[in-house]
Amino acid sequence: MILCAGFGTRLRPITDVIPKPLVPVGDRPAFVHAIDQLRAIGAAPLVMNTHHRADSFSAVLPPDLVVEHEEIILGTAGGVRNAESSLGHGDTIVWNGDVVAEPDLWALLNAHYHHHLQSSKSALTLLASSMPVGQGTLGISSEGFVVRLRGETFGRESRAVDFMGIQVLSEDVRSRLPMSGCLVGDVLLPLLREGAKIPVFLHDREWDDIGTPQALLRANLRWLKRTGLSSFVHPNASVDPGVRIHNSVVCSGSEIRGQGLVEKSLVLPGACASAPCEGVIALPPCGGRDSRVLEIA
């Protein structure tokens, strides 16, 4: 399940126009990167939830994706619980729609199944990346279990990690989720307080959470590097002859006018940018306003 219902408040003003999972990273929306990873291992059914600007998704939804629209936003835990009938039986990979990563999902699932076999309790497994000790969103023990979360400690910390917003939930855990609420605050923390052992599987490659404009631009520049491109210009974009583009992503329906170099920039769908520019995100018109440009430090 891909979680796509949030408001994306940290990414405003971009999310006033485009819901965060639909914001492009390279040649496709962020949430489609997750779909591609899940489809590659044959995960099915594929389910997503929507709420904020839900109508924006209609043009890009793959035919094999089941959409659970939430008239009232239910939170990450409630969203998964609400989709129970669509998800069917079995363990479920839950993926935040604003996370772009290429994890080894088979290895994650194997670690999850191993823990489930070793424990008589319901199982869930978190994917995380390493951080310096004392930092990160989670602390883990030498055995790889969560011992620190949101300022609460549950054992001796030997390693710090960042939770990546990707996890595996057993069917039993899914069935006991609240009808509304947060997977971290309303599920993980209560389980830890009860003494549950929640394992963490480590991801050793780069990944991106596009939660802020700075992170979004960085994710696009990393995508260019991974794909070996010096720039990406969508065939439907319009670029003046005097414009040179380097290390930038120019999306469908956008325009670049003027003369000079556009570098380390992102021109969102329907936006208009002026050359020369560097380190900017160009936004499409919204609410009667013309295109705007965010300068990214």
Candidates 231, 154, 142, 234; CA nearest to 188 is: 154
Bridging pattern class, strands 124-131 and 159-169: antiparallel
Candidates 2, 6, 3, 99; CA nearest to 51 is: 6
Amino acid 163: pLDDT: 94
> Do the domains at 2-209 and 230-295 have one common CATH topology?
no
User: Cα–chain-centroid distance for residue 52?
Assistant: 15
Q: Which CATH superfamily includes the segment(s) 2-209?
A: Spore Coat Polysaccharide Biosynthesis Protein SpsA; Chain A (3.90.550.10)
Burial of 282 (0-12, 13-18, 19+ CB in 10 A): buried
0.85 surpassed by pTM: yes
Percent of all residues in the chain with a pLDDT value above 70, rounded to a whole number: 95
SS3 6: coil
Candidates 32, 23, 72; CA nearest to 50 is: 72
| pLDDT at residue 297 greater than cutoff 70 | no
Amino acid 7: pLDDT: 83
Average pLDDT over residues 242-258: 95
- The pLDDT-based confidence of 203 (bands split at 50, 70, 90) is very high
Amino acid 172: pLDDT: 86
> Higher model confidence: residue 286 or residue 117?
117
- The pLDDT-based confidence of 103 (bands split at 50, 70, 90) is very high
Average pLDDT over residues 245-257: 95
**Phi-psi group of 8: left, alpha or beta (phi > 0 → left; psi -120 to 50 → alpha; rest → beta):** left
Average pLDDT over residues 135-150: 91
The Cα 112–Cα 53 span in angstroms is 34
Amino acid 238: pLDDT: 95
Q: Which CATH superfamily includes the segment(s) 230-295?
A: Hexapeptide repeat proteins (2.160.10.10)
| pLDDT at residue 8 greater than cutoff 90 | no
Per-residue pLDDT reduced to its tens digit, 40-78: 999 999 999 988 887 878 778 888 889 999 899 999 999
Tell me the pLDDT of the chain averaged across its residues. Answer: 90
Average pLDDT over residues 3-9: 87
Amino acid 289: pLDDT: 59
Amino acid 151: pLDDT: 87
The Cα 173–Cα 77 span in angstroms is 10
Amino acid 119: pLDDT: 65
- The pLDDT-based confidence of 286 (bands split at 50, 70, 90) is low
The Cα 68–Cα 79 span in angstroms is 8
Per-residue pLDDT reduced to its tens digit, 143-161: 999 999 998 999 999 989 9
CA angle 223, 224, 229 (to 5 degrees): 145
Token match 């720039």: residue? 231
> Higher model confidence: residue 297 or residue 68?
68
CA distances from 277 to 252, 257, 280 (A): 19, 11, 7
Domain ranges of the chain: 2-209, 230-295
